[in-house]
Amino acid sequence: MHNILIIGAGAIGLQSARLLAQAGCTVTLLDQSAVGSEASWAGGGIVSPLYPWRYSEAVTALAHWSQDFYPRLGDKLIEEGGVDPEVHVTGLYWLDLEDEAEALAWAKREGRPLRQVEMAEVETAVPVLRHGYRHAIHMAGVANVRNPRLLKSLRAALEVLPNVEIREQCAVEGFLREDGRVVGVQTAQGELRADAVVVAAGAWSGELLKSLGLELPVEPVKGQMILFKCAADFLPAMVMANGRYAIPRRDGHILVGSTLEYEGFDKTPTDEALESLRASAIELLPALADAEVVKHWAGLRPGSPDGIPFIGPVPEHEGLWLNCGHFRNGLVLAPASCQLLTDLLLGQAPIVDPAPYAPALRLRRAQ
């Protein structure tokens, strides 16, 4: 495989392109709009599933590999392209969980640094937290990454590589097939051919595969977020309660999210979500009542069964590969997902067992 075409220039597409190009492939990266302008830009950037103990082993395997790799990835991207993705290690507190015992049992089983902490300790560490929470668990070392900066950082790393071409505003209209093999795509800018075509188009991946008579169970799931601006030291750690979270950036921006809405491809922010998110923010951190909401936005996650991504070749369509369907964990799982795709495409030993992600058993023929 020397000439690779990747559909979708979000975090998954960008990181896939980076790894394949560094391995010596010639890569063309296409996006129907602008690089990184969809779910990758819109998410919170916590480098952990929100409730990691509630996921399957398939998600856990990718999450652990990625979490342990992220700090090195940040350093590598600065070195390669000169743009800091702002990997910010703060740790994460979960408050008043109903399944705290299950979380602690999972951490012991998986060897993860999750521990029960006294509320007095939490309130000392996070003075702006509302008083009244009864119990907490804490995982040290959990980072968040500043999504827009990560996307700029990945793009900068690609732009210094001579074997990568990025084409924005280049929507794919269909696949080119010869003798049962996918050999490229048809776009508004003409035909593009490749040895392999990788679909990494997030929530739009299922729509693309319909033209091949395939039904990929990936659907758009809207999530809305709000952003406050506070002092740089306002919130020293990420906190989560009642399904909502607050994430501090280095410069004092605080993200609060998120909603989970099945509204098709509509990503219009709503007043109802704004009020709900602001109320959750104030419930968690009362001082935010006096802070201005500086931004409110929505994005479309690529929802998939059990949040398990599709990674690998598509049976009966030689030349077609998937790296999509990461649901709420695209940024979390990107390093491992893209390394696994690269391993499989290039015939290398895979970093994790690829079987749980293989499209072969999980794709259905469209009716």
Tens digit of each residue's pLDDT (9 = 90 or more) over 61-107: 999 999 889 889 999 999 999 999 999 899 999 999 999 999 999 99
* Alpha-carbon gap, residue 187 to 198, rounded angstroms: 15
Q: Out of 18-32, 62-76, 275-289, which region has the weakest mean confidence (pLDDT)?
A: 62-76
Tell me if 243 sits within 8 A of 256, measured CB to CB: no
| CATH 3.30.9.10-classified regions of the chain | 92-140+220-303
Band (pLDDT 50/70/90 cuts) for residue 166 is very high
* Average confidence (pLDDT) over 338-351: 98
What pairing do the DSSP bridges indicate for beta strands 190-193 and 181-187?
A: antiparallel
pLDDT score at 71: 85
Q: Is residue 193 very low, low, confident or very high in pLDDT (cuts 50, 70, 90)?
A: very high
Question: Which pair of structure tokens corresponds to residue 280?
Answer: 């959750």
How confident is the model over 328-337, as a mean pLDDT? 95
- Residue 363 has a pLDDT of 79
Please state the φ and ψ torsions of residue 305, each to the nearest 5 degrees: -60, 125
List Cβ neighbours of 132 (8 Å cut-off, separation of 6 or more).
Answer: none
Mean pLDDT for all residues in the chain: 95
Task: Give me the pLDDT at residue 367, please.
Answer: 34
Count of CB atoms situated within 10 Å of the CB of 147: 24
Percent of the chain with pLDDT over 90: 92
Q: Which are the contacts of 96, defined by CB distance < 8 A and separation ≥ 6?
A: 133, 134, 135, 136, 241, 242
Neighbours of 111 (CB within 10 A): 7
Query: Is residue 211's pLDDT more than 80?
Result: yes
**Tokens linked to 165:** 């071409």
In this predicted structure, what is the pLDDT of residue 362?
84
Q: Where in the chain is the domain with CATH 3.50.50.60?
A: 3-54+149-216+306-365
CA distance 10 to 305: 21
CA 8 to chain centre: 13
Region at 331 (left for phi over 0; alpha for psi -120 to 50; beta for the rest): alpha
237: left (phi over 0), alpha (psi -120 to 50) or beta: beta
Residue 228's beta-bridge partner residues?
Answer: 254, 293
**φ/ψ of residue 244, rounded to 5:** -120, 150
Q: Does residue 135 register a pLDDT over 50?
A: yes
Quote the pTM value: 0.95
Domain 92-140+220-303 belongs in CATH node 3.30.9.10: yes
Q: Which CATH class is domain 3-54+149-216+306-365?
A: alpha beta
What's the Rg (C-alpha) of the chain? 21
pLDDT band at 1 (very low <50, low <70, confident <90, very high): low
Q: Which of 192, 200, 209 is nearest to 8 (CA)?
A: 200
The pLDDT of residue 364 is above 80: no
The answer to whether 278 and 293 are in contact (CB under 8 A) is yes
Say how far apart CA 32 and CA 201 lie, in whole Å.
Answer: 9
Task: Provide the 10 A C-beta neighbour count for residue 334.
Answer: 31
Q: How many CB atoms lie within 10 A of CB 84?
A: 16
pLDDT for res 366:
41
Q: For residues 267 and 309, what is the distance between their CA atoms, to the nearest angstrom?
A: 22
Name the nearest CA neighbour of 115 among 91, 83, 151, 148. Answer: 91
CA distance 175 to 186: 6
Q: Is the pLDDT of residue 2 over 80?
A: yes
Sheet hosting strand 320-324, strand order edge to edge: 164-167, 26-30, 3-7, 196-199, 320-324, 310-313
Backbone angles phi and psi of 44, in degrees to 5: -85, -35
